[in-house]
Amino acid sequence: MTAQPVALISAGASGIGLACARALTETGYRVLTLDIDAEAITRFQEEFGESSALVCDVSDASQVEAVFHSLVDPHQRVDLLFNNAGIAGPQQPVEDIGVAAWQSTIDIDLNSVFYLTRCVIPLMKSRRSGVILNMSSSAGRYGCPMRSPYVAAKWAAIGLAQTWAMELGPWNIRVNALCPGSVGGERIDRVIDCDADERGVTTDEIRRMYQRQSSLRDFVSPEDIAAMVCFLAGSGGRMISGQTLGIDGHTESLANWLDP
Ligand code: NAD
């Protein structure tokens, strides 16, 4: 009998990560997560099992090192690492962004990708098999005004996916970057509110502006992203590595359409 494959999702206790956890479970994965939100972790454990999740700030290298083995060692393998953790960061003109806000966005959106991947690679190399997905964003391909540290981190996630695809391909480890467009839900509602405040326009105007950014004129759903994750994790993704995959209804432009 083949042992159950294991997926580790960073920040998987809610949002997109949780939708991916549910979809991967349906395809037969045992799903594990590290998330900073203790209440969300408790709910995750109720749904996915006692040993499926631990509280961890994945932007803190020492916390990741301290909890990684407690979570993963009982399962002895990680078949899929989904570096999903990320925050929107400050939404301000670059000259107004404070150093602390810049640093914390880079710590969560970029440095956590490095911290987790370096823990997982030895396990994948020893089995000569694995899939790593870095969560980027349309903003990581096209740039996005008022979101400098987010763009810097998401652009880097693509560069790392391409670099690690080269470095790890000989071990049969595939690495790709995912670029969702704006995902419908509470998070984009917060981004829209903040953007509207900063620009002094209505939230409806900002919402329409965001929806016009994609050819399909709609927001992405977490389930759209989960479907891509499952595809790449499965045999259909066997020869897909080093790619930057849009799940975005075709982003036409993230340019600022409300110039002063
Ligand atoms: P979300 O705001 O819903 O947060 C998901 C989880 O992240 C939460 O459970 C939260 O507790 C956890 N988290 C936050 N900081 C953490 C930390 N330091 N350590 C551990 N866990 C932490 O996010 P989401 O909308 O599900 O986004 C997930 C990923 O998708 C992010 O990388 C985001 O940049 C990316 N993305 C989102 C959108 C979108 O529109 N929502 C679009 C493109 C890309």
* 31 phi-psi bin (left φ>0, alpha ψ -120 to 50, beta other): beta
Ligand 1 atom 18: residue of nearest CA: 57
Determine the Cα–Cα distance for residues 100 and 2; give it in Å rounded to an integer.
Answer: 47
Confidence class of residue 2 from pLDDT cuts 50, 70 and 90? Answer: low
Least confident of 43-52, 121-130, 245-254: 245-254
Cα(242)–Cα(176) distance, integer angstroms: 5
Domain boundaries, the chain: 6-181+221-247, 183-219
Residue to mutate (ligand 1; options 14, 47, 113, 133; most atoms within 8 A of CB):
14
Ligand 1 contacts (CB < 6 A) are 11, 13-17, 35-37, 40, 57-59, 84-87, 108, 135, 137, 180, 182-183, 187-188
Do residues 81 and 133 lie in contact, with contact meaning Cβ atoms separated by under 8 Å? Answer: yes
Q: What percent of the chain has pLDDT over 90?
A: 85
CA of 108 to the centre of ligand 1 (A): 9
Question: pLDDT tens for residues 112-146?
Answer: 999 999 999 999 999 999 999 999 999 999 999 99
Architecture field, domain 6-181+221-247: 3-Layer(aba) Sandwich (3.40)
Averaged pLDDT for residues 153-179? 98
* Residue of 37, 179, 213 with the most ligand 1 atoms within 8 Å of its CB, for mutation: 37
C-alpha distances in angstroms, 122 versus 103, 170, 209, 256?
28, 14, 44, 43
Closest ligand 1 atom to residue 180 Cα is: 43
pLDDT, tens only, 68-105: 999 998 888 999 999 999 999 999 999 999 999 999 99
Three-class DSSP labels, 152-221: HHHHHHHHHHHHHHHHHHHHCEEEEEEEECCECCHHHHHHHHHHHHHHCCCHHHHHHHHHHCECCCCCEC
Number of the ligand 1 atom closest to the C-alpha atom of 183: 40
Atom of ligand 1 nearest to the CA of 138: 43
Q: How far is the CA of 177 from the centre of ligand 1 (A)?
A: 15
Q: Nearest to residue 35, comparing CAs of 72, 7, 65, 64?
A: 64
Element housing 83 (H / E): strand 80-83
Q: What confidence tens digit (pLDDT) does each residue in 168-181 have?
A: 999 999 999 999 99
Rg (CA), the chain: 18
For residue 14, how far is its CA from the centre of ligand 1 (angstroms)?
8
Ligand 1 centroid–CA 204 distance in Å is: 23
Q: Which helix (H) or strand (E) holds 34?
A: strand 30-35
Mutate to test the pocket of ligand 1, among 187, 195, 223, 245 (most ligand atoms within 8 A of CB): 187
Q: Which atom of ligand 1 is nearest to the CA of 150?
A: 34
Mean pLDDT for the stretch of residues 15-37: 98
pLDDT on residue 256: 60
Tell how far the Cα of 170 is from the centroid of ligand 1, in angstroms.
Answer: 31
